[in-house]
Structure 1
């Protein structure tokens, strides 16, 4: 008999009528021949009420007691849902996180799942029960109640689907699927039928509220199909699986992360180990860094800029202050009135001109770009918060995301093509992997690379668009792009990597750009290589970048450029030390490599 995990968020169980509606969906699935596990969040704004109560007691309450308090919201919900199922004539039993056997570490408020014991759930299902499990919570080795952090019920649901071998994990929410962007911010956003794990991981980390990134990590790792559906209608929804909706469309979604903060550490000595000292101090406070830009060092020093969630700025500054003298940096600055606009697409790496198309759209909308980072499937630009809505609309329109691609596939088509090919892989990986342990898919080198850097770039709209349109017209394929502050008021620096054979052509274009816009200088360098650590959910495992920088520092390898995403951490280094770097990182991450 097939098994389905159904997750109902807070808005889906906000009152008695909605609780009964959720109960009826579960009973209907059981009548269709499925065994059913429900995962339920706290009712409506219940968690906010509990947080307010704690705030009335005082500030900085103990994390353990906060977890004890917040976990009660889900306990109320599961009991009421089980009662509703009983009232409708079916059998149900409610279980807390501890009762479903969910063991976590002891990181209160941000706990990670270590294991789930399924014996009790399996027995209750065999007895004909609908099992109603509390999301968001577990217990540690000392039987303390822990919570999983933001989006924890999504993570609970997908984790249960993984260990139980569920046929699907249905996420019921107040929207009817995944959209090309947030429809509350852009009414013309289109619901997509299928989105890939990789695309959804990036979109979730960028603030797409439908799913939380840790739940997508689980799904990708264990091959769990996720079906995002509306609690209030029978709309088909969106499937999150390994495949993309289209194989030709370069961009599948856009996102805007409104409340970001930029931090720049100034005058960092351009020697091995300094990046590691900075990022290690921040990682110890469990702050997830996003955009990272290190400009090319001048006079023996470089500036390192990165973004963090605005709410984590205070902790980030404290971390920097604790090591700034040891690092030898000259100071730091920050700006908490910035937002990040990004485009995501699995086919991006296969097509040229995607970056220039995005930059031109922003320029035409009068939006200035403060920072740029790229990965194989994502381009992010940091903009002033007041310009973020215009920026999101501009890029969404530029890539025609409101239109369904001509080659778009439905989930039914993809399912027919894939058959049962994933089943064996799922079982094998479940047996081999710890649930939420770091999982790396590879460490690789890209050799024969070159770098071009423009210093003194005026901080105004249109320059990035001009630059990369000209590079595209020259037939040059650009890999990494980073734009950061140049250490002078109103100026930035832009660096990009190309194949070594394209260096001369790239410098020719860069010099034309320098002449047109009055930049300070252009520098080109060959003899570099890109080292890449690839995996699942690298940003949520904040220690990955720290370990990478630490290993390179131990081997006296300096980092010239940095680039991070959910799926990769990239560092540009001296090609002469590339093999040493590869061997060192393979040793460092040996226990996490598939």
Structure 2
């Protein structure tokens, strides 16, 4: 008999009528022949109420007691849902996180799942029950109640689907699927039938609120199909699986991260170890860094730019200022009024001029670009915050995301073509090693035979990036990494891009024409460089990856020329003569995480 895990968020169980509606949906699935596990969040705003209560009695509540308190929200919900199911004539039993056998570490408020014992759930399902499990919580080795942090109920649902070998994990929420962008910002956004794990991971990291990236990591790792649908209707929704909706479309979605802040460390010596020192100081303050851009140094100096959440700017500046003298930087600049617009798509890795198309769309809309960073399936540009919505609409229209691609496939078509069943034995074996939520690296790879072109003195004005990459695209040159930092004090910046070494001569010819057209300062280039990529699942939630990478390279006296990051990869450019040494060091350092 097939098994379905159904997750219901807080808005889906916000009152008694919605609780009964959720109960009816679970009963209907059981009547259709499925075994059903429900994962339920706290009702509506109940978590906020509990937080207010805690603040009223204690200025700094102990983390353990906060987890004890917040876990009661889900316990209320599961009991009420089980009661509703009984009242509607079916069998159900409610279970806390500890009762479903979810073991975590002891990191209160942000615990990681270590293992799940499914024996009790399986027995209860075999007895004809709908199992109603509390999301967001587990227990540690000392039987303390722990909570999983933001998106915890999604994480619980997908983890249970993985260990139980479920046919699908339904995420019942207040939206009817995944859209090409936030429909609250752009009403013309289109609901997609299918989106890939990788695309959804990138979109989730960019603030797409449908699901938290941690739950997508689980699904990708254990091949769990996720069905995002509305709690309040029967529309099909969106399937999140390994395949993309379309093979021809370069871009599947666009996202806006509105509240960003940019920090640039100016004039640091272009020597090994600088990036490690800068980002170690920030990591020590538990600040999550988003876009990271290090461009090629000029006259022995380089600029390092990165973005953080706007509310963490002050803490970030304090951390950076504390190491300015240590790294020999000439200064620090920042901008608190910027936003990040991004496009995501598996197809862009195989198509030329995708970046040029995005930059042209922004230029035509009169939007200036402050920073650029790219990965294989994502391009991000930092733009003025007062132009953020304008920028999102421009790229959404530029890639015609409101239109369904001609070759778009439904979930049933993809399922018929591929084997998407998870290997339950593989999941169980990894559980025995407490590896359910461990960092999983899929590859440490080098792309050799590369060259780099850098344009210095690029004017900070609308349309320059579009002109540059339009010309490069017309020349038929395939660009890999693109990095643009930011130096608002001088009214100009530098842009670097990597290409196949065989195309360097053609690229330099185009670059010099661009340099003359826009009165840039000069063009530089280099052969014999290699892109080193660390790819995997959980790079954002396991923040030590970047620190370990920079530490290993610095210890080996290997200089980093360029940096670009994404949800799925950390990319650096280094001298090709150091590539083998760097790869071996990283494979040793990450041996436990390599799959």
CA contact (8 A) 2:536 2:568 kept: yes
Counterparts of 1:178-577 in structure 2, within 5 Å, are 178-418=178-418, 420=419, 422-424=421-423, 426-432=424-430, 434-486=435-487, 488-577=489-578
Q: Does the residue aligned with 1:83 lie in a helix, a strand or coil? A: helix
- CA offset at residue 60 of structure 1? 4.6
CA contact (8 A) 2:222 2:422 kept: no
CA contact (8 A) 1:372 1:381 kept: yes
C-alpha distance in structure 2 between counterparts of 1:114 and 1:525, whole Å = 46
Structure 2 residue 192 is matched with structure 1 residue 156: no
1:329-388 Cα shifts (integer Å, max 9, x gaps): 344333222111110001101111110100010011111111111111110111111111
Residues 38, 342 of structure 1: alpha-carbon distance in 2 compared, 3 angstrom cutoff: same
C-alpha distance in structure 1 between counterparts of 2:116 and 2:546, whole Å = 28
C-alpha distance in structure 1 between counterparts of 2:126 and 2:284, whole Å = 44
C-alpha distance in structure 2 between counterparts of 1:285 and 1:220, whole Å = 30
Q: Does the residue aligned with 1:255 lie in a helix, a strand or coil? A: strand
Q: Does the residue aligned with 1:347 lie in a helix, a strand or coil? A: helix
- CA offset at residue 487 of structure 1? 7.2
Q: Does the residue aligned with 1:479 lie in a helix, a strand or coil? A: coil
C-alpha distance in structure 2 between counterparts of 1:223 and 1:285, whole Å = 35
- CA offset at residue 53 of structure 1? 3.2
Deviates more, 1:303-312 or 1:439-448: 303-312
C-alpha distance in structure 2 between counterparts of 1:369 and 1:59, whole Å = 43
C-alpha distance in structure 2 between counterparts of 1:195 and 1:391, whole Å = 23
C-alpha distance in structure 2 between counterparts of 1:344 and 1:430, whole Å = 33
C-alpha distance in structure 2 between counterparts of 1:20 and 1:344, whole Å = 38
Residues 51, 178 of structure 1: alpha-carbon distance in 2 compared, 3 angstrom cutoff: same
1:289-341 Cα shifts (integer Å, max 9, x gaps): 22110122233322211112223334433433444443333443332221111
- CA offset at residue 430 of structure 1? 4.2
Q: Which runs of 5+ in 2 are unaligned?
A: none
Residue number in structure 2 paired with 1:123: 123
CA contact (8 A) 1:456 1:486 kept: no
Q: Which runs of 5+ in 1 are unaligned?
A: none
Structure 2 residue 579 is matched with structure 1 residue 578: yes
Residues 130, 185 of structure 1: alpha-carbon distance in 2 compared, 3 angstrom cutoff: same
- CA offset at residue 390 of structure 1? 0.4
C-alpha distance in structure 2 between counterparts of 1:500 and 1:409, whole Å = 37
Q: Does the residue aligned with 1:128 lie in a helix, a strand or coil? A: coil
C-alpha distance in structure 2 between counterparts of 1:66 and 1:384, whole Å = 38
- CA offset at residue 288 of structure 1? 2.7
Q: Does the residue aligned with 1:131 lie in a helix, a strand or coil? A: strand
Give the paired residue count: 592
C-alpha distance in structure 2 between counterparts of 1:381 and 1:59, whole Å = 40
Counterparts of 1:83-98 in structure 2, within 5 Å, are 83-98=83-98
CA contact (8 A) 1:289 1:539 kept: no
Q: Does the residue aligned with 2:476 lie in a helix, a strand or coil? A: coil
Counterparts of 1:28-107 in structure 2, within 5 Å, are 28-57=28-57, 59-107=59-107
> Normalising by the residue count of structure 1, what TM-score does the alignment of the two structures yield?
0.97
CA RMSD of aligned residues (A): 1.6
1:411-456 Cα shifts (integer Å, max 9, x gaps): 11111111x46444x5325423610101011111111111111122
- CA offset at residue 47 of structure 1? 1.7
> Normalising by the residue count of structure 2, what TM-score does the alignment of the two structures yield?
0.96
C-alpha distance in structure 2 between counterparts of 1:148 and 1:213, whole Å = 13
